[in-house]
Homo-oligomer: A and B are copies of this chain.
Amino acid sequence: MIADRLGVSVTTVARAINGSPKTSAGMAERVNRVAEELGYVRNMEGVKLRTGRTYVLAALLKFPSDTEIGDPTLLGLLQGIHQRCRDTDYSVRTIIAPETGEDTIELERLVKGRGCDGVVLDHTSLQDRRVKYLLEAGMPFITFGRTELFSPHAFFDVDNEFAAWQGTSELIRRGHRNIALLDGPEAYTYVRQRMTGYRRALAEAGLSYREELVRNLDPQADAARLAAAELVRTTGVDGIVCVNDVVLMGARRGVRDAAPERFKNFGFSVRSGTNLGDYLETRPVTSYFSRIDAGWSLADMLIRRIEGQPVEELQKLVRTELR
């Protein structure tokens, strides 16, 4: 239609729209003016064919199980990723990561089916098979969390050891002495780091580490509720360090289930990226880092990785603040 209107060839118009140096300034202006009049929108499919790129960022994220509150931190992460991509050519394809282990099936589909230009991974493990696969496949990616692999890769992480140390230390400062830890499965890097931070805070305060006060569980509300109730019934626990918002909600409920009279003076700390704590009856000690900011950084660093920035410059560790 643009070519018809201007009485020139389709090739001439195509050259102008794609910014070819063969186009004169006058022709470029005429083509763009008519394109605007006709409501032309750049066809991303055409751009993709020409550049061999998909302009898709894949976010392979673990979702909470069906029956739960729904982890508000995951939503923040997604929101941040989307905010970074807004008004860019990139769109976001979210993929629910398989519940079990480090399945690479989804990633193989993405890589072989050319489904994206880069990948965001969360729930990283020490020797993460998915990371190994992406390194080998040469697909740009960034992990939310670190690994112990020899090959460097882009990552963004909240200092988990520090966050757990911070939350535990603050509970100790407030007079709690029998502090439990409700955390995720030990396979994840962040859980190992958190357990180190928890032990360090206890040691610094001269408190002994008691294995029976540590629970590694699927970090969901119902599991946390049962674990907290059992801890209250079987130990002299007076405070709980919680790995996330839903574990906090479950732990609070579990303490009330087992010993409502102890709830009022019970201490809770949580690593959170939301302001949920402001709305609870008793405010938990909160180690805060915005999940929206985390998502934004992950997408930003991934785009820079796709565009060629070296991985060594794309490794960022941030600290939680006490709230």
Contacts and interface: CB of A to CB of B under 8 A. Distances in A.
A96 B83 contact: yes
Given A42-B113, A252-B279, A279-B250, A76 B82 contact: no
A78 interface: yes
Contacts of A83: 96
B69 A70 contact: no
Nearest to A221: B279
Interface in A84-109: 86, 91-96, 108-109
A50 to B, nearest CB: 13
Contact of A281 (B76, B256, B274): B256
Interface residues of A, number: 54
Copies in the complex: 2
Contact of A43 (B76, B114, B256, B279): B114
B278 A253 contact: yes
A41 interface: yes
Contact of A72 (B48, B70, B96, B225): B70
A44 B94 contact: no
B91 A79 contact: no
A258 interface: no
Contacts of A64: 75, 79
A9 interface: no
A39 interface: yes
B278 A108 contact: no
A63 B42 contact: no
A72 B67 CA distance: 12
Contacts of A292: 66
Interface in A125-140: none
B113 A43 contact: yes
Contacts of A75: 63-64, 70-72, 74-75
A173 interface: no
9 contacts: A41-B109, A43-B112, A68-B275, A69-B274, A78-B78, A91-B95, A253-B278, A253-B279, A281-B281
Interface of A: 39-45, 48, 54, 63-64, 66-76, 78-79, 82-83, 86, 91-96, 108-109, 112-115, 221, 225, 249-250, 252-253, 256, 274-276, 278-279, 281, 291-292
